[in-house]
Amino acid sequence: MHHVEQHFSGNETVRDIVIGLADGLTVPFALAAGISGALASSHVVITAGLAEIAAGSIAMGLGGFLAARGDAEHYASELRREEREIVELPQRESEEITDLFRAYGVTAAESAPVLAALQRDPKAWRDFMMKFELGLEEPDPKRALRSAGTIAGSYIGGGMVPLLPYMLVDDIRMGLWISCGVTLGALGIFGAVKGHFTGVPWLRSAWQTMLVGGLAASVAYGLARAIG
């Protein structure tokens, strides 16, 4: 029988979407609920919510951009260091390869042919050390801009969900209740899908996501009511 292994790769784009959607659904939802607890104007909720989405998407996108740039700079720095050490300290680097194999139960004699092959190809030697000693993969040069756009776009998409009811309903209380239902439903679906792909039981993941969003909104609403 042909065996097919199914694993979630958790690629970078999916992680960016998860980051953007998670915050986009939660933060504007809590803000809108908080303002609804203190004021009686849907216009204020919409205006403040749109302002938060704009600022939040820029901040989140910039954070993703800087994180990706930082990863690329770190990789380049470690790459130069490995290249230098292979030239200046070949004996120590060879011993590190032997130690890496020994950790998996491979003796020095058994790993010697692999070591000899790597020593004949400095580039392969360097790449081997980057991946298996440092656990670093070469980043995509376009990763920073793509990450920024993906996170920001996901944040905007998620943030519009709790605001739409206020745009469609004049009564702020009715808008709040509809927003709660729609957003908690969206959080549940988001959590279930995320759980499906990450291997977490989808029902548990859905309830956890809904709990976080609902708790944030409840605290914001309660504080606004208490202060107002």
Domain boundaries of the chain, sorted by first residue:
12-71+145-227, 74-133
How many Cβ atoms are within 10 Å of 155's Cβ, its own excluded?
Answer: 29
How far apart, in whole angstroms, are the C-alpha atoms of residue 11 and residue 147? 12
Burial code of 114-144, b = ≥16 C-beta within 10 A, e = fewer? ebeebeeeeeebbbbbbeeeeebeebeeebb
8-state DSSP, 134 = S
pLDDT at residue 228, rounded to an integer: 58
pLDDT at residue 206, rounded to an integer: 87
| Residue that has been written with the tokens 């004021």 in this structure | 39
pLDDT at residue 139, rounded to an integer: 83
CA atoms in the 13 A half-sphere facing the CB of 116: 6
* Cβ contact 37:225 at 8 Å: yes
Percent of the chain as helix, strand, coil, to the nearest 5: 85, 0, 15
How far apart, in whole angstroms, are the C-alpha atoms of residue 81 and residue 34? 51
- Give the DSSP H or E segment for 8: none
Per-residue pLDDT of the chain (228 residues), as tens digits, is 544 444 444 577 888 888 888 888 888 888 888 888 777 678 888 899 999 999 999 999 999 999 989 988 998 998 899 888 888 888 888 888 888 888 888 888 888 888 888 888 888 888 888 888 888 888 887 888 999 999 999 999 999 999 999 999 888 888 888 988 998 898 888 888 878 777 788 888 888 888 888 887 788 777 777 775
How far apart, in whole angstroms, are the C-alpha atoms of residue 85 and residue 89? 5
Instruction: Return all residues near 225 (Cβ < 8 A) that are at least 6 apart.
Output: 37, 38
pLDDT at residue 40, rounded to an integer: 67
Report in angstroms the alpha-carbon separations of 63 from 13, 19, 53, 213. Answer: 15, 11, 15, 22
**Measured in whole angstroms, how far is the alpha carbon of residue 201 from the centre of its chain?**
19
